[in-house]
Amino acid sequence: MISLKTVSKLYNEGRPNEVCAARDIDLELARNKVTVLTGPSGSGKTTLLSMIGCLTRPTTGRVFVDGDMVSGLPEKFQTELRRTKFGFVFQRFNLIRGISVIENVMLPAAPLGPEYHELRERAQNRLERLGLGAKADMPVEFLSGGETQRAAIARALINDAPVLIADEPTANLDTVLTERFLEIVGELQAEGKTVIMTSHDPRIWQSSHVNTVVRMQDGRIIGVDA
């Protein structure tokens, strides 16, 4: 479903602090599978994830989603793609402070100007599914670590995107919550979604819910285990 062909990424190109974060990556990611990118810090997994999720353009090479080349699209269309195809959960969950949980969940859809009550209902639905229905109107500062993560997932699901992208989703969670997270991933896969995430955590790549593990080092892929 997602292909990368000889993709490289250079940061600060042409400047003294130029760094090559990813080198000649060729990768195929299948639909409806759970894939984990793993490797030590600086191995390029977050960069790769960025490029898969169209958050940044590769310096060279191409990215295809469902057969369409997306890496060369104008930014506006990449955003549209991001909105419709991908849902993001970041390392620090990145909820916006000062607004409530449900408002955070509604944010990705807001610029399209959908009908308010319909959107709110949708958001409430997602929250309930993740056990946060009662905390919908609470300011996000009052959520625990696990709750914040679930709120972030609810936000990632608001547009019914087929692909969930998560960067180190369990980095700040204990074993119980990590388990819970993996269960949710399993549920999403059962619904037909594709999940791609990065993680250092062995519990993740050793989990039965994970289909493929991609190992990286120094910006290159050194192995793919199915």
Partner 1 sequence: MIFQTPILALLLISALSAVVMLWAGWFALRLLLRWDLASGSRAQLEMERATDLVSTLFGFVMLAQLLSLLLYVFNADRMATLFVGAMCAVGTLNNNDWGFPTLYGKLAIFFVATMWLILDRADRTGHDYPLTRVKYALVLVIVPLVLVAGALELTYFLNLQADVITSCCSTEFTPETEGLGSDMSSLAPATALWLLGASGAAVALVGAASLIWKRGTTLFAVAGAVFFVVALTAIISVISPYVYEHPTHHCPFCILKPEYNYFGYVLYAPLFMGTAFALGAGLLQPFRKVESLAATLPARISKHVTLSLASFVVFGLVVLWTIWKSQLILFG
Partner 2 sequence: MKHWLRRQRYLADFTLAALARRRVKNTGLIVIYSIIVFVLASAMMFSAALRNEAGTVLAKSPELIVQQLVMGRHEMISGSEIEKLAGIRGVASVKGRLWGYFYDSVNGANYTFMVPDDESYALQPGEAILGGGIGEARDFTWDTAPLFVTSLAGKMVKFNVRETFADDSALLTADLVLISEADFRSFFNLPPDVWTDIGVTIRNELEIATIVGKAQLVMPNARFVTRSDIERTYQRLFDWREGLMTALAAAGVLAFAIFAAEKASGLSAEEAREIGILKAIGWDTGDVIAMKLWEGGLISFGAFLAGTVFAYLHVFSFQAGLFEPILKGWAVIYPDFALAPHVDGLQLATLFAITVIPYTAATLVPIWRAATADPDQVMR
Residues that bind partner 2 (CB under 8 A): 46, 49-50, 55-56, 75-76, 79-80, 82-83, 88, 90-91, 94, 96-99, 103, 107-116, 155-156, 159, 167
> Is there binding between residue 77 and partner 1 (CB under 8 A)?
yes
Chosen residue from 6, 28, 30, 60 binding partner 1 by CB under 8 A: 60
Residue 101 and residue 180: Cα distance in Å, rounded? 20
| Cβ 83 to partner 2 shortest distance, Å | 3
Query: Closest distance between partner 1 and the C-beta of residue 208, in Å?
Result: 40
**Of 67 and 117, which CB lies nearer to partner 2 in the complex structure?**
117
Q: 75 or 115, CB closer to partner 1? A: 75
User: Considering CB distances under 5 to 8 angstroms, the limit depending on partner class, which of partner 2, partner 1, none binds residue 24?
Assistant: none
- Work out whether the CA dihedral 199, 200, 204, 206 comes out positive or negative: positive
b vs e for 38-57, b when ≥16 Cβ sit within 10 Å of the residue's Cβ?
A: bbeeebbbbbbbbbbbbbeb
154 three-class SS: helix
Q: In the complex, what is the shortest distance from the CB of residue 213 to partner 2, in angstroms, rounded to a whole number?
A: 20
Whether the CB-CB separation of 64 and 3 falls below 8 Å is answered with yes
Alpha helices in the chain (DSSP H): 45-52, 75-85, 101-106, 116-129, 145-157, 175-190, 202-205
Residue 88 binding result from partner 2, partner 1, none, given CB thresholds of 5 to 8 Å by partner type: partner 2
Binding residue for partner 1 (CB under 8 A) from 75, 98, 115, 226?
75
3-state DSSP assignment of residue 105? helix
Question: Residue 88: which residues within 8 A CB-CB, separation 6 or more?
Answer: 53, 55, 82, 156, 165, 166, 167
Which of 3, 32, 59, 211 contacts partner 1 by CB under 8 A?
Answer: 59
What is the contact surface with partner 1 in residues (CB under 8 A)?
A: 13-14, 57-60, 71-77
